[in-house]
Chain A
């Protein structure tokens, strides 16, 4: 088979951070080539370089042996590269046909050439078995058909290389089979597909070859026929088992929070919870491992009182059932929360660092007189300075807006605020996402210090290494269900990584 695409030594640097470093990828004509990697492994960056949204810092791209410079998305289309994004880019109020021809520049005329375009589209449809109702509005289509419209858009523009970014994430099993049929007929006609996924089963079923990315580097390219799910999982997560730097707790204290058969919108596969039972003990870190979008958000919202369960029970430390689900009542009961999205949920970006540090306590006697009638600006400022010192929050002034801080420092502000109240239960969701090594280390130390002080810690993270490093027990969430709970000391990594993939 002839080579279609070769990316050589691609590096992409943002500031001092390498999103891609010396990545190589080679795709042949008529193959399905999977890009496998965890979140943040650099898959999106690499694909954004390929479709012209980013320019690589270093490295070369060849199409059919010719070196090309993909300086804009338009150039990528001209070279026959098309991408189907995970989140569809369709206009709901337009029909399938209108969406397909939208923005296409083949006709010189200012008038729409609907009849001619319809003929072209129908030909492509027939050739690849893409079933689309061209006259139906996108808003009335099933998700599967919307996806076919996206694929058609790319084919209509003459793509030879299709990038499908986690196309199965939104589909039912039956729709996945349909998609695979389409992919096979495409490759049979000589088109090439870059398939992005982290679902091992699907990767094994559809790919010809797999390139594994980890931490921005391409680790290895293998033929699917010559490998196993096990090997791929190992490669994706990294064989090097990270040295335990923290002592694991084997005999934790009394239960702080117990979930019994809790369900919340269980019909939603990627966002609901189904019969989740877990117990969180004082003085232990319970790590929740799993691939993003398998109910982690719902679990976090439940533990912070933002949602109440549809069925099942949540019990407090004394074994009594919790009846009121509101953030305030959970905070009063001693919850500390490092939320999933620090800008959206953790900080008020337009307010100053000092204001964010005292966010929950403005009515306390320490920071105001008369229960909030007069804020003690001096006390707030002093407290902020003290927190800044203790937590090494790097800012030019505590009166600077929180949104102007770097991610790591924003996280330190949240951590300082949440730990200052000495929580009984600490929820940490993706606590180090996007942070550099130094800030990550600091936050890990703080979490373990809380554990050692007797706080119950629930850690939810998509970073498997982080879960392994911090957790005393590890539980795996897949499609809203608990797949199993494992010990944190000498964890059975292979078993856990398979559980994360739903096996």
Chain B
């Protein structure tokens, strides 16, 4: 592959696009520290505990990765859809429906062993895709706004799951399903499950599809300019629909992996809760780069698992972590918008130029 020669502006753009999320994270951590200090605790000790609790030893690392795994899936789900200009906010519903499909196939069909695992994952992919196909069809045929329809479908999925774990496969009448049979679960891998590896590989695959195939090229073109895409002969509606389905399938697979990979291997209240919107935030912070989305998802996982340790060591509520996560999102999105402002651009360019002239003088 030929090495791309980058112009000064592109280099600057690239630097800024990496710098912004990093600075956002640091700023959020600083403000988080101030809040912790206001509560009368030592923030350094707190962050130490957070790191200790998430990356301190092998078992903690695997726990963090396990926590990140569903976020990688929903992050990739959002990334793929947004690349095509589709604002899929239904990652959570698609994730849940994927989990439900897996549960129904394995528990309902009574299939165990590798066959159960394979069919369970396949069912998750298919049903997740179908759950996203519905708003897709509504959008391209009737022009309904997918932001609304996908959110509404989240609720339907949520209550459908409740029906599944209360009425269909309830464990002795308790509000949770029977656990997935051991033989159909995902294999262990260095203290965690292979689903984590699958998620990371999927990140690379999604990157490849979006940036290195003709299909992904068209998806991006449609996302950036649907009119020009149509004029130039792309089947815009079909591509949009495919973006919905693929995005939903990714989330659906995430639901299956979560169910078959992570304790307690059951559907119950709270399964998938909040993952959809975290995925949206991850995609935005990662600037719709699939590989960056994997990294950001792991950061979110770290905040989650580390937060618990922080709570127990210095005694601040885990809500601090939610605040920090919220701040990262705000800073990243605001920062992204800011560097696109013409005034800021002009300022940055001027500064660079004046630096150059100073250096030469």
Q: How far is the CB of B86 from chain A (nearest CB, A)?
A: 16
Q: How far is the CB of B187 from chain A (nearest CB, A)?
A: 30
Among residues 319 to 342 in chain A, which have CB atoms less than 8 Å away from a CB atom of chain B?
326-328, 330-332, 337, 339
Tell me whether A442 is interfacial, beta carbon within 8 Å.
no
Of A350, A372, A400, the residue contacting B224 (CB under 8 A) is A350
Chain A proximity mask over B213-230: 1 for CB below 8 Å, otherwise 0: 111011011001101111
**A378-B2, A400-B7 are contacts. A348–B212 as well, Cβ < 8 Å?**
no
- Residues on B with C-beta less than 8 A from A400 are 7, 9-10
B residues engaging A (CB < 8 A)? Answer: 1-2, 4-10, 212-215, 217-218, 220-221, 224-225, 227-235
The residue on B at minimum CB distance from A379 is: B2
Q: How far is the CB of B298 from chain A (nearest CB, A)?
A: 28
Report yes or no: A331 in contact with B4, Cβ–Cβ below 8 A.
no
The residue on B at minimum CB distance from A417 is: B232
CA distance in complex: A81, B213 (Å): 57
Report yes or no: B227 in contact with A344, Cβ–Cβ below 8 A.
yes
Report yes or no: B10 in contact with A304, Cβ–Cβ below 8 A.
no
Main SS of chain B's interface residues?
helix
- Residues on B with C-beta less than 8 A from A304 are 231
* 23 A-B contact pairs sorted by A residue (CB < 8 Å): A304-B231, A327-B233, A331-B232, A344-B225, A345-B228, A347-B228, A348-B224, A349-B224, A349-B225, A355-B221, A362-B217, A363-B214, A372-B215, A372-B217, A373-B213, A374-B213, A375-B213, A377-B1, A378-B2, A381-B2, A396-B8, A396-B9, A399-B5
**A351-B224, A362-B218, A374-B212 are contacts. A397–B231 as well, Cβ < 8 Å?**
no
Instruction: Name 17 extra pairs, CB < 8 A, besides A332-B233, A345-B231.
Output: A306-B230, A306-B231, A327-B231, A328-B233, A331-B232, A348-B224, A351-B220, A360-B233, A362-B214, A371-B214, A372-B217, A375-B217, A377-B1, A381-B4, A396-B8, A397-B6, A399-B7
A residues engaging B (CB < 8 A)? Answer: 304, 306, 326-328, 330-332, 337, 339, 344-351, 355, 359-360, 362-363, 368, 371-375, 377-378, 381-382, 396-397, 399-400, 404
**A368-B214, A374-B212 are contacts. A347–B230 as well, Cβ < 8 Å?**
no
Report yes or no: B212 in contact with A375, Cβ–Cβ below 8 A.
yes
- Residues on B with C-beta less than 8 A from A381 are 2, 4
CA distance in complex: A355, B2 (Å): 15
Q: How far is the CB of B321 from chain A (nearest CB, A)?
A: 35
> Top 8 nearest A-B pairs by Cβ distance?
A372-B214, A362-B214, A328-B233, A396-B7, A350-B224, A378-B2, A363-B214, A327-B233
Report yes or no: B221 in contact with A348, Cβ–Cβ below 8 A.
yes
CA distance in complex: A304, B228 (Å): 12
Of B1, B217, B218, B227, the residue contacting A345 (CB under 8 A) is B227
- Residues on A with C-beta less than 8 A from B10 are 397, 399-400
Query: Which residue among B213, B215, B220 has the maximum number of chain A CB atoms within 10 Å of its CB?
Result: B213
Q: How far is the CB of B208 from chain A (nearest CB, A)?
A: 9
Q: How far is the CB of A372 from chain B (nearest CB, A)?
A: 3
Q: How far is the CB of A389 from chain B (nearest CB, A)?
A: 15
- Residues on A with C-beta less than 8 A from B212 are 374-375, 377
